[in-house]
A and B are shown apart, each in its own frame.
Chain A
Amino acid sequence: MDAEELNALAAAAARGDDQAWETLVTHFSGLIWSIAGAYGLARVDAADVTQVTWLRLVEHLGRLKDPSRMGAWLVTTTRRECQRRSAAARREVPSGDDRRLEDLRSDGPSPESLVLRSEREALVWRAFGKLDSRCQELLRALILAVPSLSYEQVAAAFGMPVGSIGPTRARCLEQLRRKLGSGVSTAT
């Protein structure tokens, strides 16, 4: 999907064309989910962040300075909501002995909601959840947003030169390799 198509879709959706909107949702959902899932939020909170991002875009459709840069707008908007959500979770200090709110802060989607086929998968997933958010965002995007988005479009959305994707991915994978090598515990 090139810049011209994005501009056209944004304009059509702004005029009420729900098919144009659906095309945008299909195209960018992977990118948004890549960000929303990179901040250690419980899955239900990441889904809420996703919803707020889409709702914001609905109201901003006819107001975007450059609709062809929608990917970058979505990344920035999703990140801000994740940071707010994390900050809000930190502020919900339990009173007395109520520790239930601690459960909102997890290292990833709640274990019950995942189907993990093996202990090795659980190990890899938990180690991945301990990488810094920027690494998680990029690796998730390369896995979930591609091939809807090209490498060039992922780079543009993250404000990175496309040539730095490969080296950044390699560095992040190296971090993952070290965490796996040091025997990250699978204990909850």
Chain B
Amino acid sequence: MGNDDGITGPETDRDRRDPLWRELAAVVRATDPVSPDLLRIGRDSFTWRTIEAELAELAFDSVGHALTGVRGSPLQRQLTFEAPSLTLEVEVSAEGGRRRLVGQLVPPQPARVMIRHQGGIVAVEVDETGRFRVDDLPAGPGSLRCHLGGGAGGAPVVTDWVML
């Protein structure tokens, strides 16, 4: 079912032999293939898997909306993650390649919040106000894992991964 350009499917003989198609395929494969690094990125993601956690899905991301902010001021972004038992409101500020998170658990309650990112995990204790702040995180993929009530029992809540 194949042919010498490795592309099969519903197409006419003329399409398959189109020199521009064959040329484009060769150029794309040569210049932007799926590299071993990309495969490794995919495989390594599995190590972040949490067991028995409640997922707080990304419900709102201000980056998808109209431009705000003043030229020259730090970039600010509002994120809302929603789980059945908990909502997390997170404000992300950017200065260059570093990120600051200011978070609010709703309903407000004490918790231990772990910020998972490429460099590792940062833990922060949250008091009954449900408010927390973490400075100097690296830009890149990030996710929060919350252990409510001081971590004593109950499934943790993990947020969708986002690009900080």
Residues of A within 8 A of B (CB): 13, 16, 18, 21-22, 25-26, 29-30, 32-33, 37, 43, 47-52, 54-61, 63, 80-81, 83-85, 87-88, 90-93, 95-96, 108-109, 114-117, 121, 124-125, 128, 139-140, 142-144, 146-147, 150-151, 162-163, 165-166, 169-170, 173, 176-177, 180
User: Is B163 a contact of A128 with CB atoms below 8 Å?
Assistant: no
CB < 8 Å neighbour of A170 from B15, B50, B51, B69? B15
Residues of B within 8 A of A (CB): 2, 6-12, 15, 18, 20-21, 23-25, 27-34, 37-39, 41-43, 45-46, 48-51, 53, 55, 61, 63-64, 67, 69, 71-72, 75, 77, 94, 140-141, 143, 158, 160-163
Given contacts A55-B143, A87-B64, A128-B27, 15 further A-B contacts (CB under 8 A): A29-B38, A33-B38, A50-B38, A55-B141, A58-B46, A59-B143, A84-B63, A88-B75, A95-B72, A116-B31, A117-B30, A140-B28, A144-B34, A162-B10, A163-B10
A contact residues around B161 at 8 Å (CB): 52, 55-56, 59
User: Is B67 a contact of A52 with CB atoms below 8 Å?
Assistant: no
User: Is B67 a contact of A166 with CB atoms below 8 Å?
Assistant: no
CB closest residue in chain A, given B12: A166
Give Cα A77–Cα B61 distance, bound, in whole angstroms: 14
User: Is B72 a contact of A25 with CB atoms below 8 Å?
Assistant: no
B contact residues around A166 at 8 Å (CB): 9-12, 15
